[in-house]
Amino acid sequence: MYTNAITRKPGENFAEGLTTSHLGAPDYQKMLQQHQAYVDTLKSLGLQVLVLDSLPDHPDAYFVEDVAVVTPQVAVVTNPGADSRRGEAHLIKDVLSKFRNLQFIQPPGTLDGGDVLQVKEHFFIGISERSNQEGAEQLGVILEEHGYTWTAVPIISGLHLKSSLNYVGVNTLLVTSAFQQLDFFAQTFSGYETIILDDSEIGAANTMLVNERLIMPVGFPGAREKLVKLGYPLIELDMSEARKMDGGLTCMSLRF
Ligand code: CIR
């Protein structure tokens, strides 16, 4: 069960963050409302939620997931792969050190938390445009010290591993059909059940399991129908503005 979450308020200039999506210009007031609903939802599930101040010099900083990987034993501060985001990492140190001992991904290693998917005692680490092999290995060494195992996963499309794949409980992975068709998928993810998303609903891949509830983005009825069968109560949140900035549900918090 998670007891804590760290989030960060989106800044007024959040639209200056990195994006590859063509979903139109994001709206700040809507973003704030959606962020508040997100925070309120985590609180309603019993988490204590810290909301850090926005960082005007780092318009993507509210995607706090990317700057750390938190386990019960240690928090690993990452070295984000995008130049514009690198400075965010050391700005999370003070708050994280109140909860965990810290370790650090060191250059030339790069790593974004969005590429790190924990499934029970195992971590899948995406090697993407943001996270390199060196970063994955550094994280892997730290995780092994604490009894975890890990596997590297090549990310060929989409920003991060968790843009395409998430763990939704009941030994089940939620995955886009494109990702599921990659030749390494069956072997790398053997032993799990899969729920495969239609191509028109890849935006639902970033669904988040928190304290026996599944939080999913609104607007994906096909995914909803498949997920409801897992038996968890579903909560739908409007993520329209974060999606315009290539972000989703998991990106906006560190949960531990
Ligand atoms: C970026 O490109 O870095 C941000 N605009 C979006 C980051 C999303 N983070 C995540 O998926 N963990």
Ligand 1 pocket check: which of 7, 13, 62, 66 to mutate, most ligand atoms within 8 Å of Cβ?
66
Q: What local confidence, expressed as pLDDT, does residue 107 receive?
A: 98
Ligand 1 pocket check: which of 63, 69, 85, 163 to mutate, most ligand atoms within 8 Å of Cβ?
63
Euclidean distance between the first and the last CA atom of the chain, given in angstroms as a whole number: 8
Residue 51 near residue 42 (C-beta atoms within 8 A): no
Residue 201 near residue 220 (C-beta atoms within 8 A): yes
Q: From the CB of 65, is ligand 1 less than 6 Å away?
A: yes
Count CA within 13 A, CB hemisphere, residue 12.
0
Q: What local confidence, expressed as pLDDT, does residue 157 receive?
A: 86
Residue 149 near residue 188 (C-beta atoms within 8 A): no
Q: What local confidence, expressed as pLDDT, does residue 121 receive?
A: 98
Q: From the CB of 209, is ligand 1 less than 6 Å away?
A: no
Distance in angstroms (rounded) separating the CA atoms of residues 55 and 61? 7
Positions in the chain short of pLDDT 70: none
Q: Is 251 a catalytic residue?
A: yes
- C-alpha angle with apex 239: 235 to 245, nearest 5 degrees? 150
Ligand 1 centre and the CA of 247: distance in Å? 5
Ligand 1 centre and the CA of 86: distance in Å? 12
Q: What local confidence, expressed as pLDDT, does residue 101 receive?
A: 98
Q: Give the helix ranges, DSSP H, for the chain.
A: 28-44, 93-97, 133-145, 177-180, 185-188, 221-228, 240-244
128-160 confidence digits (pLDDT tens): 999 999 999 999 999 999 999 999 999 988 999
Q: What local confidence, expressed as pLDDT, does residue 102 receive?
A: 98
Q: From the CB of 114, is ligand 1 less than 6 Å away?
A: yes
Q: From the CB of 82, is ligand 1 less than 6 Å away?
A: yes
Distance in angstroms (rounded) separating the CA atoms of residues 172 and 231? 12
Q: Is 160 a catalytic residue?
A: yes
